[in-house]
Structure 1
Amino acid sequence: MKSSRQVAAEALLRVERGGYSQLTLDAALTKARLSVRDAAFCTALFYGVLERRLTLDHCIAAYARHPLSDTVAQILRLSFYQLLYLDAVPRHAAVDEGVNLTRAMGQARASGMVNGMLRSFLRDGCRLPPVEGDATAHLMIEYSCGEAVVRRLLETYGEESAREILAASIGRPPLYIRVNPLKTDPDTLLSHLEKHGCAAKARLLDGNCLEMSGDPVHTVSHKLGYFHVQDYCSQQAALALEPAPGSRVLDCCAAPGSKSFVLAGLMEDRGEILACDASAGRLSLVEAGAKRLGISCIAVRAQDGTVYEPSLGLFDRVLCDVPCSGLGVLRRKPEIKYRDEEAFGGLPALQYKILETAANYLKRDGMLVYSTCTILPGENERVVSRFLREHPAFAPAPFGEDDWHSTHLPEIGGGDGFFISRIRRVE
């Protein structure tokens, strides 16, 4: 049976070759059948190494004397991570297990080198080697974030705010859930969850958004569909659409479905929600979630958001939560931190095309919400402002006194980064 360290190392290698972190880890844990304790340790190692990769590589580079294979590099990242950040793991155990893992993964000839590097780091007090260079270089190593992302944050927000955003990208994010009003209410749900050691740390938005402690996902309440997990800023995007019971609603990029589920609750499961996504496979997540939550008003359809399909008709409300760079959710998807400049280039054009297509489905006096989980103006207000300039039949729809759009920056111990805007069809 593979150890938790080996499962983590192999999953990290797959992510390095292009896999998505959450999907890759879920598949690895399902296959490995680790104990609950070992699975938790594997998860901590996996995400810890992902979010600290550049910092770890900086340490490794200071001690490496020869080129490293991909496998040995991952083993060293795991080992250096334990030495730097996991006080619960004895340092001698981290070294010994690193050497053992080198042999277990078919790299026995490198075991002496691995042992020597780790023991040298240990003798030096497990301290981060000095960083040379400008503010970009220091932020890259301190917060383990690629140059393209750091430079964009510095250009957009300046050094102080960029540092705060990057600081929020490290560590475990808060857990927010959305109460399912079709089956229960916040007080009843909390009384159920408290029996399993879970409690609400805060009640947010309309009272159905709860910040939780404990592990509510592995409870009967979750199995029975009393809630679903969703960051509170993501919930806010769905709430901004304000659908009434009986409305006809289009969710253009719906998978995995959490915003559609919020909309169904607001509509009291009356009316119609058409949940579309370009990925037919991911729509199964929407269907499974709707079934668990007891929602009947959601129908799914595989539909490219850039292609207009007149047969779908018109809608009272349209939610346009478009693909984006994801810089608001770095702590949930740490692999995004290492993307290069090419990963950002074509996004505004794609987002604009999806928004333009989605607007074709909106009835007169209907409302559309455009949202992203990024914090870059080029993907957010500039996309919507361009649309409004080029389409006079649409106008901003304020959700405050004057504001028709807002950007929420990621917070340490708070919500994700998110952009939300509203427009209305006036002609």
Structure 2
Amino acid sequence: MADFPRRTKPARPGPGGARAAAAKVVSDVVDRGRSLDVALAEHVSPTMPDRAFAQQLSYGTLRWYGWLKSELDPLIYKPLPRSMRQVEALLLVGLYQIEFARLPEHAAVSSTVEAVDALGAGPQRALMNGVLRNYLRRREPVVEAQRVRFSWPSWIVGEYRKSFGREGADAALAAGNGEPPMTLRVSLSRVSRDAYRGELAEAGIEATDGTLSPAALYLAQAVNVDRLPRFAEGVVAVQDEAAQLAALALAPITGERVADLCAAPGGKSAHLLDIAPDLGLLLACDIDSERLKRVAERLGESTPLQLREGDAADPALLADDPLFDAILVDAPCSGLGVVRRHPDIKHLR
């Protein structure tokens, strides 16, 4: 599974105090050569309501200072005087928010412009507003460059930038272009993961344990399933580790009535039965009759299994059934999480 950096959710921002404090911290470090700890101690008090947000802005802006400065300089036609270094620092804080903080762009701009009053530089509001809004206009070519570089549709690039910031978007887009690993789910009701890893080793297949699912094994190289020991017997299945988490989270118990409402092609239904083979009922539903046949082929004549064709969005699908103890709904979505395995998603969404 790709592990890319995500933006942290900031503390609830105030009207400008946190941003102004961060600007003072950044200016102290860059212009006066003070340490971050000393600058934070002076400008961000322990009782400050938005202390966490101010710290996040301070650390983040300093972490990305070089890149943020390279983005800011072309937007300012002549260098700002030394008396306005805190204003410049506030502009950098504003750019950091736009790119990395989980805030709507308009809120990042307007709140940063308001913060200039807390620096005693109210007359520079027009400058702040103009520079930050000009930056937003200039960002569009950057999105286009990412689209070309990573070969993703522009709308996805834009959504990723909003959700993850520039760094996170780059990582997510790159991860989506990678080769997917071949991941197995071991039937733990029949064999332990360690034992099956040993069987793979005897067959000359290298595997490592997953980190989230106790049944997951990652193969060092993909192989034909007919090379997998006891694959035809159902001792192991090919299933991404993330997909294995659904049944684990539902945690079915012997005797329960469980419905899997978007069941095809049957991987999660099979996992539910592996966790609790003696379910009272497993009702596997899908809107596609052809795909539902694959569920039947995969699960065979399992005693608690019933198949039903129908639309899970229609309340009538389960209207005549007694109550269920648990319902699993892996509803259709954008599919971006599995684009490595299904690159056609880029062209079909």
TM class, shorter-length? 0.5 to 0.7
Cα gap change, 1:195/1:265 in structure 2, threshold over 3 Å: closer, same or farther? same
1:328 match: secondary structure: helix
Matched, 1:321 2:327: no
Q: Map of 1:40-59 to 2, 5 A cutoff?
A: none
Partner of 1:302: 309
1:198 match: secondary structure: coil
Partner of 1:264: 273
Q: Map of 1:206-285 to 2, 5 A cutoff?
A: 206-214=213-221, 215=223, 217-219=225-227, 220-285=229-294
Cα gap change, 1:269/1:143 in structure 2, threshold over 3 Å: closer, same or farther? farther
Q: Map of 1:366-405 to 2, 5 A cutoff?
A: none
Asked if structure 1 preserves the Cα contact closer than 8 Å seen for 2:255 and 2:280, the reply is yes
Asked if structure 2 preserves the Cα contact closer than 8 Å seen for 1:190 and 1:200, the reply is yes
> What displacement does 1:190 show?
2.2
In 1, the alpha carbon distance for the partners of 2:290 and 2:244 equals: 24
In 2, the alpha carbon distance for the partners of 1:259 and 1:308 equals: 22
In 1, the alpha carbon distance for the partners of 2:217 and 2:177 equals: 22
Cα gap change, 1:154/1:301 in structure 2, threshold over 3 Å: closer, same or farther? same
Matched, 1:170 2:180: no
Residues 158-177 of structure 1: CA distance to partner in whole angstroms, max 9, x if unpaired?
21111111010112112211
Match 1:150 to one of 141, 157, 163: 157
Letter matched to residue 304 of structure 1? D
Partner of 2:202: 195
In 1, the alpha carbon distance for the partners of 2:303 and 2:199 equals: 25
In 1, the alpha carbon distance for the partners of 2:304 and 2:197 equals: 26
Cα gap change, 1:198/1:271 in structure 2, threshold over 3 Å: closer, same or farther? farther
> What displacement does 1:243 show?
1.1
2:197 match: secondary structure: helix
Structure richer in helix, relative to its length: 2
Q: Max radius of gyration: which structure?
A: 2
Q: Percent of aligned positions with the same letter in both sequences?
A: 34
> What displacement does 1:306 show?
1.3
1:172 match: secondary structure: coil
Asked if structure 1 preserves the Cα contact closer than 8 Å seen for 2:257 and 2:279, the reply is no
Which is further off, 317-326 or 146-155? 146-155
The answer for unaligned runs of 5 or more in structure 2 is 1-139
> Considering only aligned residues, what root-mean-square deviation do their CA atoms show, in Å?
1.9
In 2, the alpha carbon distance for the partners of 1:197 and 1:272 equals: 39
Residues 54-106 of structure 1: CA distance to partner in whole angstroms, max 9, x if unpaired?
xxxxxxxxxxxxxxxxxxxxxxxxxxxxxxxxxxxxxxxxxxxxxxxxxxxxx
Which is further off, 222-231 or 151-160? 151-160
> What displacement does 1:235 show?
0.7
Asked if structure 2 preserves the Cα contact closer than 8 Å seen for 1:216 and 1:222, the reply is no
2:230 match: secondary structure: helix
Asked if structure 1 preserves the Cα contact closer than 8 Å seen for 2:213 and 2:245, the reply is no
In 2, the alpha carbon distance for the partners of 1:189 and 1:299 equals: 30
> What displacement does 1:295 show?
4.2
Runs of 4+ displaced beyond 3 Å:
203-206
2:306 match: secondary structure: strand
Letter matched to residue 171 of structure 1? G
Residues 126-149 of structure 1: CA distance to partner in whole angstroms, max 9, x if unpaired?
xxxxxxx71111111111101121
TM-score (norm 1): 0.46
In 2, the alpha carbon distance for the partners of 1:206 and 1:268 equals: 18
Matched, 1:138 2:145: yes
In 2, the alpha carbon distance for the partners of 1:298 and 1:261 equals: 10
> What displacement does 1:199 show?
2.5
> What displacement does 1:251 show?
0.6
Asked if structure 1 preserves the Cα contact closer than 8 Å seen for 2:186 and 2:236, the reply is yes
Cα gap change, 1:202/1:330 in structure 2, threshold over 3 Å: closer, same or farther? same
In 1, the alpha carbon distance for the partners of 2:171 and 2:183 equals: 21
In 1, the alpha carbon distance for the partners of 2:196 and 2:293 equals: 26
Letter matched to residue 253 of structure 1? C
Asked if structure 1 preserves the Cα contact closer than 8 Å seen for 2:213 and 2:241, the reply is no
Letter matched to residue 264 of structure 2? A
> What displacement does 1:206 show?
4.8
Structure richer in strand, relative to its length: 1
The answer for unaligned runs of 5 or more in structure 1 is 1-132, 344-427
1:177 match: secondary structure: strand
Asked if structure 1 preserves the Cα contact closer than 8 Å seen for 2:278 and 2:304, the reply is yes
In 2, the alpha carbon distance for the partners of 1:295 and 1:208 equals: 21
Asked if structure 1 preserves the Cα contact closer than 8 Å seen for 2:260 and 2:282, the reply is yes
Residues 2-26 of structure 1: CA distance to partner in whole angstroms, max 9, x if unpaired?
xxxxxxxxxxxxxxxxxxxxxxxxx
Which is further off, 242-251 or 147-156? 147-156
